[in-house]
Amino acid sequence: MGEPMNISKIKSEIAKTSSEEVLNSYLEKINKSKINGYSTVYDEAVEEARDIDKNGHDGILAGVPVAVKDNISTDGIPTTCCSRILEGYTPPYDAHVVERLKSEGAIVIGKTNMDEFAMGTSTETSCYGPTLNPWDTGKVPGGSSGGSAAVIASDEAPVSLGSDTGGSVRCPASYCGVVGLKPTYGTVSRYGLISYANSLEQIGPLANNVSDVAIMMDVIGGHDTRDSTSVSQKTNYQNTLKDDVNGLKIGIPEEYFGEGIDPEVEESVWNAINKFEDMGATWEKVSMPNTSYALSAYYIIAMSEASSNLARFDGTQYGYRADGDNWHVMASRTRAEGFGTEVQRRILLGTYALSAGYYDKYYLKALKVRTLVKQDFENALSNVDVLMTPTMPTTAFKLGEKIKDPLSLYLADVNTVPVNLAGVPSISVPCGFSDGLPIGLQIIGKHFNESTILQAAYSFEQNTDYNAGRPGEVE
């Protein structure tokens, strides 16, 4: 299938041919694809490409097709969160990140498949059916941004956007052998992101290489007055990338290499760490004692916020509406028929955790644990520049293997959710293979220090060939 496409190559192709021709080449692949990576393909994208060819555009993404996760609002393009309850909903506005993409000339090629309302680790809970992993179509692509990663791995888009609440960008990046970044909380505006858990989630880019992730961050990052959590940060990540990790101090949290980590995953990650050492970095073990409590705290907080956020979906204003003699019957039936099993489960658990008599016992205690987890990161990163861990404890698992066992799905997030509790940045880059399936290395940095983890990931990428192939080309 050839070497992965990147923004630079796309721009070269556009210069030689046209934006329309490049876009059509992607649309042709999408039409033939069997991985079910898209929930919607944008019919008018060709017209936008023709307009760029006719009138020109000086943006750094001019004519570049971008895939956008189906929980990010796009004006005129259906945005359903892959849920029946938002059936037929088309937003009248663009999310902040989509505005930024369009201002640089990017063309939204379509919306990517995802776990319903971003609740899942496998992209199996979508009302459009599961997305398949391009490396092995019998395996999951990860979630909840599985479509956003799979379309890159299968060369159906050069770059994409996902959202990360507890690993939902990094998990599919690891399973699909691409690069995925979860930025520092507040670095990218959440305006236009349909909320799952406001205090945890961030929009993040996925691509075939670190350079394209840096370009995407330069485009989508920055302050937005419509998001009260948005911070003012200068972004110039492209120009900070250089092949140099000499003197980089790496921390290895022992708690991230414990029970449940596949031996081949652990071996590949340690090989990567040793590679960094060969390149001039040093490493030391660090302790993060509250890691074992992070998963429980995360799910209590996330589900509690979800129960509040999803209360707005009652059939009154938009989306699916069931019949009922009065509002109470209509809303109850709408939610019962519109929400899938996993979403209903999380709403019920979150409502329970917030109910009288249990708020202090569960939710308040989870918030206290969150503070301790954040302090763990601050302490661990006080003496080192970055932390390195496996992104996921295993490679991609089989379709249907864990969907009926929610607890095992939740446990798969053990290495990613602490990052969201702390709000620090984290990137997943390919670092090896096990039985032909990709393995991801997670590099975690200090708050607002994306440049360091991007440079570390870039240097690793430049000195290895893990991301040089395509599905079906790995021995």
Candidate list 19, 122, 144, 459, residue with the active-site label:
144
Task: Look up residue 412 and give its two tokens.
Answer: 């798969």
- Burial (Cβ within 10 Å: 0-12, 13-18, ≥19) of residue 20: buried
Whether 86 contacts 79, CB under 8 Å: yes
Pick from 287, 276, 470: which is nearest to 379 by CA? 287
Cβ neighbours of residue 9 under 8 Å, at least 6 residues apart?
none
168 part of the active site: yes
Task: Count other C-beta atoms under 10 Å from residue 163's C-beta.
Answer: 26
- What does DSSP say about strands 179-182 and 426-434: parallel, antiparallel, or unpaired? antiparallel
Candidate list 69, 102, 182, 446, residue with the active-site label:
69
Please state, in angstroms and rounded to a whole number, the distance separating the CA atoms of residues 437 and 430. 10
Query: Which string of b and e fits 299-327 if b means at least 16 CB within 10 Å?
Result: bbbbbbbbbebbeebbbeeebbbbeeeee
69 part of the active site: yes
Candidate list 19, 83, 168, 426, residue with the active-site label:
168
Q: Mind telling me the catalytic residues?
A: 69, 144, 168
